[in-house]
Copies of this chain bind each other. A is one copy, B any other.
Amino acid sequence: MKSKENIEQIACECLLSRARILNRVLTVFYDDELRSYGLKATQLNLLVFVARVGPVRRIDIGKRLHLDPSTLTRNLKIMLTNGWVEERIDGEDGRGSPLQVTVKGRDLLSQIVPSWKKAQDRARTLIGDEGETLLKRLAANKFGFPSGR
């Protein structure tokens, strides 16, 4: 049957299904470690980004992290409520103020470092040196991530 062949091909080839599983598996590693601090892995990544390049507008975060503006509105609302980030008031553009990390947010980042390292180690073990190298190179070349060395 043609049908069976198609299914086999997608099952054996589809890159997205593999990327999505990898994503889910890795997310569990980081979420497990971060749970006691009350932040999710997604929020950590956002917090790190804002802390590093802020003050930064939602639109620019979205461009770099490939996130929809509406997603950012909602994700950042939680982080604003938690006091990890704040809006910079002196914005000249009335269409929204840039975000920056708060002292509380920066403190939290300092605290979670050991937990992040544990999760990072689990991730590294799973994907191997080769996987790590490739993922970093991909992110650096295609997504404008810092290369780290």
Q: How many copies does the complex hold?
A: 2
Decide: A11 and B49 in contact? CB cutoff 8 A: yes
A143 to chain B: closest residue by CB = B21
Q: Tell me whether A84 is interfacial, beta carbon within 8 Å.
A: no
Q: Is the CB of A18 within 8 A of B143?
A: yes
Residues of B within 8 A of A20 (CB): 23, 27, 41-42, 45
Q: Which residues of B contact A19 (CB under 8 A)?
A: 19, 22-23, 26, 135
Residues of chain B within 8 A (CB-CB) of A3 are 106, 109-110
| Chain B residues near A12 (CB-CB < 8 A) | 145-149
Instruction: Evaluate contact between A116 and B148: CB separation under 8 angstroms.
Output: no
A7 contacts B by Cβ under 8 Å: yes
